[in-house]
A and B are shown apart, each in its own frame.
Chain A
Amino acid sequence: MKFAHIADVHIGAYYDETLAELSSKAFEYTIGKCVEEKVDFIIVSGDLFHVSIPDLGAVDKAVKQMRRAKDAGIPIYVVYGSHDYSPSGKSIIDILDSSGLVTKIVKGRIEDNKLRLEFITDEKTNAKITGISARKKGLESKYYEILDRDALEREEEFKIFSFHSGIEEFKPRELTPVECIPISYLPKGFDYYAGGHIHDRSENTLPGYKNVIFPGPIFSGYPRDLEKNAKGAERGFYIVTYNDNTIKHKFIPIKVCESTYYEYDATGKNSNQVKNEFQKNIGEIDANKKIVLLKVKGKLAGGRTSEIDFSEMKNLLYSNGAIYVNVNRYGFTSSEYTDVKVSGEDVNLIESKLFRENIGSVKLEQDKLLGKKGISLAQNLLKTTRLNPKINESKKNYDARQVDDGITTLELKEVM
């Protein structure tokens, strides 16, 4: 028996074309590899998609790969993840399940306050597969509480439990605040535990629980994944073989592109120094065909953060061949514009207060940018950035719409 274990694909996570393309490419590679390896089936442990109703363009590409797998006789067994689950039952997963491209494995009923899960049997291998999907905010734990583990443990055939939750005993230290479930919630004695949700690869064992595997994403689901990629994290999936009562799992790495990460600490420097140094340093980065991630942090001793033109630096990197550049300025402050601690009950009030507190620290000349007018303008502009894309609206149109609204808000239509 041979199967692939994938998780956290997050198809549709990125509107950026480059990243979206890379994400699709990673999935394409994964399915291709599965076909090449002639796996008997694929298990996706949640978050195949980034949202329950993703961009159709991304869906289209993903479906093609699923078709490819199906045509190769490789069924795809899925559970919902925390991202692609829909409380109304109308998720892309359901559509794909109805179409036969994937099979949802979580089936069961609640009897006498006990959740009795049923196994799906893979026709080719007779492997028994079951699991529990994710819910938003970890609400799936209530199902684990009432899970009838004894019944599952009694099953004697080769069995796989798929789930999309962090496990307390296996989570890395930096994820301490993240709520996970204890491993004791899982039924014991399964041959393989296909985990998802945790974006760090790990292979774990505890008494009663062998082969608890988290493959991590095949590319990236969040910006911090990109950062970890740039710092050397391996992405990929597992191919698991079972012969003569022995399980072996092999990690298949996927690298769709190179990444580089550069961090700069501006503490104690003035804006000019930062500008000059930063510019010099990033000019030395080999950015060709790479994702470049920049992080700036620290408090300026003089000058303002707005005096540093990061878009210019991004352009520099692009001109040096970078395929994607992101500047993380969280934690980059100046003494003239410090964090303001506000409390309030209403988001609008908080925003208003924040703008009020800080508008004075920005050098402005135009009347409509000053005082109350300026605050109101800033709030309206913020609103336009919060517009949600319409159903089936392409990214291109969505971007254009946002820009248009912004221009209107700034009363620059005539100027433009």
Chain B
Amino acid sequence: MSFEAVRDLINNLDSKIIDNRIGNPAFRDPSVKTYPLNKDGFRIIRKVKSPRKCVFIDGGNQELAGAPNFSVQINRVYFSIWVNDKSVRERILPKRIEFFSSTYSTMLDKEIFYGTSVFPSLPDQKIFLPEEGDLSFNSFDSSIAYKNQRADIERVASISRRFAEWHIAEKIVLNELDKGDIVVLDGTLQTNFKNEEKYMSKLFKAAKEKGVIISGFSKTSGLLTDTGLSLLGAVDKIASDHRVEHEWYYPIAEASSLDHNAVILAVKLCAGSNRIYRYEIQGDCFKWMSELELNEVLSELVYNSCDVTFPGYPYGLVDADRLARVSYDEAEYYRGALLSQLSDVGKLEKFARHMRAKDSHSILNMLVK
């Protein structure tokens, strides 16, 4: 390794990233209302224990067999219920829903569409799965394709899991939660795909009727300021420069479009941690929340973010992520079962010849291990 080259790189990068020019939040969508970034925007979160239940939902999926024209996935959605720092048993719903999906390309009206069929692991979990009709996409659909390139079928295959998360969240609101309780989804509340808004709306409607607060917590954020700094990094610098201690939140922006209706905050959920995250609350919920209620909601997250293994990150999401995740070993197991079954019915070669168009990379990976 050339140390001098690295040194030069560092110097160059340092000259490009000028973090004393904080700037303000930069959103492309003009309908997003932003708030200036300064020392006065921080709000301290007072820790107060409340009886609100907080449900953390996360999902995971892994491809089991893939080809340019099909993708078989295993999908999992998991949720856990917490009151502050204590986990609480669910009333009736199963904690984990698992299903297989097969996404395939098909010709329709001279266009290539991607369709998905879903297969629950347990028959009685079918009610938690999205409708297959909602999972059909033109391969050049703008929500899935990149510019004029056909969408990667594997990306489309993961949409069924995303829709399932919305759908299960609705079931949770209806069966497990009461007024004032909170739902925390992994990621933002912004919809990206065709038909996704339908599931989001159903969730929001159910939440509104019950008085449940819908929110989203992002473990990563690509937001920038108008000076080119990372938005969360910039907020962190202001906080550091002005010694803002304790747990706090900083309102960043309000989105109010059809596909994204939420108030976006930057939050620091553990005073001892150096991590800041993007957290957003569904717009309508936020409007009818008082300061006190908002503090309570955030306080819930604070209590849940004091796990010593990952301070500042809600443990409920750590838990949900761990149990929703499909590990490589697990995927290997299912993969083996799938291929074995294909072989049993004499169809392995039929699918293998398509899979061979995509699998050289993994073979190379094996060779260089």
* A and B directly contacting (CB within 8 A): no
Residues of A near any B CB (own CB < 8 A): none
Residues of B near any A CB (own CB < 8 A): none
